[in-house]
A and B are shown apart, each in its own frame.
Chain A
Amino acid sequence: MSVDRLPTYSVAELNTAIGSLLERGFAPRFLLEATVSRPQLKKGHLWLTLTDGAASISGVVWASKLAQLSYRPADGDGVTVVGKLNFWAARASLTVQALDIRPSLSTVLRDFERVRQLLEQEGVIDPSLQRQLPSQPSTIAVLTSVPSSALADMLRTAAERWPLTQLIVVPIPVQGSVAPTIIATLEGLAERTDRLGIQALVLARGGGSREDLAVFDNEALCRVLARYPVPVVTGLGHEDDLTVADLVADHRAATPTAAMVALLPDREAERQGLVQRQSRMRDALLGRILRERQRLQDRAFALQNQSPLEKIRRQRHELDQKQLLLKALSPDRWLKRGLALVSNAAGDAIQDLQSVKIGDQLNIRMSDGTLEARVDQIQRSSPNPTP
C-alpha cells in the first residue's frame, strides 16, 4: 500500500473519526454485567471502574443521575449497568456513562444476609416478638404503589372477603431511591395510627425481580417497620421472595392478595357461623322447653305416687303377687298330676314305712277328695343292687 493511499489525520481529526465510528457502529444503550471497583465521588459525580476480572473499563454516574438512583454501589458489588458509551475526542478516552445501576442478585442477597444477621443479633428479628393479627380489624392501612395491580388485587380480595373493614391506602413509591420516602411515610403514619383507628398495616408490592425488592432489605426501613405500633403484614413480590421486611413483620404473606386473606375474615365462613348460631339458639329454646316439660311430668308422676288410692292399689298388687306365689308352692299342683298325700289318723304325713304298721288307719288325699284306708300288708322295697 502506498503512502499516498493512506488516510491522513490530525490528532483531532483522528479522535473525531473514532468518535463518529463509535457513534454509528455501537449500540446507543446496552446492559453491562460487572463488578464495581474503586468507586469515588468527585465533584458530585461517581467515578468507578467496571471489571469482570479479566477486563475493565472506567465508568461514571453523573451527579444529576446519581440523585435518582435507588442504590449506591460499593466496592466489590456485582451490578447491572444500563449504560451508553462516552467518547471524549480531546483525549480519546472511553467511559461507560451509567444511566442506571442496579445491584446484581448476588449483591442483593449478600446485603439481605448482612442486614438479617445484624437485626437477628440485635433481637429486632425475633419470631417470639410477632404479634397476633386482629381477628376482624375495623380499619387497616395499606402501603403500596398507586395505581398498581397489587392494589387492585388487594381491593378486590378485601371486597370479596370482608367489606366491613375500612381500608386506608397510602401510596408509596417502589422505583428509584425510595427507602427514605417509605420510612418518612411509615413514621408519619405511626404517629397517626391511633387517631385513624388503624389496627394493622399491610406493606405490599407486586411481583418483579428479587433485585426490585432490595429496598425492603433496607436496614433503617426494617427497623421502623419493627417498631410500628400495630401488627404488620407483608406481601412482597412472589411466593419465593424473602426480604428482611418479611422477617421483622408480624406475619409474612406470600403475595399482596395473601396479605389480605391473612388479615381479613371470610364473609362466607362467617355466614355459615351465623346460620349455626341461629340453629343453636333454636335448639337451646326447644331443648329447654323439652327439659322443663320432662321435669313437670316427673313431678306429676311423683305426686300421683303419693295418693292414698295409689298406695292401696300398690298394696293390693303386692297381695296378689303373694297369693300367686302361695299357689305355686301349694302341694295341690302335685295332686293334680296324679300323686297322693298319705297321712295317719293324727294327720301327720307319712314319709316312709317306718312310721306305719299293719292295721293303721291312713288318709290318702287326692286332687278331688280323700280316701280312708287300712294297712293290711307292708312290703318293703328291696334295696337297689349295687353295680
Chain B
Amino acid sequence: MSKRQSSNELRDRIEAWRKDAAGLNYEEAMQALDLLLAELQNDSVPLAELQQRVLHGEVYLNRCQTLLDSVEQSIVELDPTTLEATNNA
C-alpha cells in the first residue's frame, strides 16, 4: 500500500470516528475516552495501532470539549395543568 493510500485511509477513518462521536452525549464520549485511556495505559494496544488509538481518543476528547463549549441551554416550560410544552421558554 502506498503512503498516500494509507494517509487517505486514515483520514477516512478519522472522519468516520467523528461522525460516530457526534451522536454521543458528554457522558458517553467521556466513557469512551476513559476506556481508550485505560487500554493505552496498560500496554494492551499493539504498537502498530498505538497512533490510531490516540487519534481516536482525541476525537472523543474534541467531542467533549465541543459539548462543554456549548452555551445554549435547552429550557422547556410546561403548562402546569396540561403538562404540555408552552411557547414561553
Which residue numbers of A lie inside 8 Å of B, CB to CB?
135-136, 138, 146, 155, 158-159, 163-172, 181, 185, 188-189, 192, 267, 270-271, 274, 277-278, 280-281, 284-285, 288-289, 291-292
Indicate if B1 sits at the interface (CB-CB under 8 A): no
Enumerate B37-89 residues with CB–CB distance to A below 8 Å. Answer: 37, 40-41, 43, 45, 47, 50-51, 54, 57-58, 61, 64-65, 67-68, 70-78, 80, 83, 88-89
Asked if A167 contacts B75 (CB within 8 A), the reply is yes
Contacts of B73 in A (CB 8 A): 155, 158-159, 163, 165-167
Closest Cβ–Cβ distance, residue B58 to chain A (whole Å): 7
Closest Cβ–Cβ distance, residue A167 to chain B (whole Å): 5
Closest to B65 in A: A274
Closest Cβ–Cβ distance, residue A172 to chain B (whole Å): 6
Indicate if B21 sits at the interface (CB-CB under 8 A): no
Question: Quick one: which of B47, B65, B78 has the most chain A CB within 10 A?
Answer: B78
Contacts of A192 in B (CB 8 A): 83
**Whole-angstrom CA separation of A267 from B67 in the bound complex:** 10
Q: List 6 A-B pairs, minimum CB-CB distance, nearest first.
A: A284-B40, A163-B73, A166-B74, A169-B77, A167-B75, A170-B78
Contacts of A170 in B (CB 8 A): 77-78, 80, 83
Closest Cβ–Cβ distance, residue A216 to chain B (whole Å): 17
Asked if B37 contacts A164 (CB within 8 A), the reply is no
Closest Cβ–Cβ distance, residue B74 to chain A (whole Å): 4
**Whole-angstrom CA separation of A172 from B43 in the bound complex:** 56
Given contacts A164-B70, A188-B83, contact A288 B43 (CB under 8 A): yes
Instruction: Give 28 CB contacts A-B under 8 Å.
Output: A136-B26, A136-B27, A146-B77, A146-B88, A155-B73, A158-B73, A159-B71, A163-B70, A163-B71, A164-B26, A166-B73, A167-B73, A167-B76, A168-B78, A169-B75, A170-B77, A170-B80, A171-B77, A192-B83, A271-B68, A274-B65, A277-B34, A281-B37, A285-B40, A285-B50, A288-B43, A288-B50, A291-B43
Contacts of B34 in A (CB 8 A): 277
Closest to A291 in B: B43
**Whole-angstrom CA separation of A270 from B65 in the bound complex:** 9
- Interface contacts beyond A167-B75, A170-B80, A171-B77: sample of 17 additional A-B pairs, CB < 8 Å, sorted by A: A136-B26, A165-B73, A167-B73, A169-B78, A170-B77, A171-B78, A185-B83, A188-B83, A192-B83, A274-B65, A274-B68, A280-B37, A281-B58, A284-B37, A285-B51, A285-B54, A288-B43
Asked if A171 contacts B80 (CB within 8 A), the reply is yes
Closest to A267 in B: B68
Contacts of A171 in B (CB 8 A): 77-78, 80
Asked if B68 contacts A270 (CB within 8 A), the reply is yes
Contacts of A169 in B (CB 8 A): 75-78, 89
Q: Which of A135, A136, A281 contacts B57 (CB 8 A)?
A: A281
Contacts of B77 in A (CB 8 A): 146, 168-171
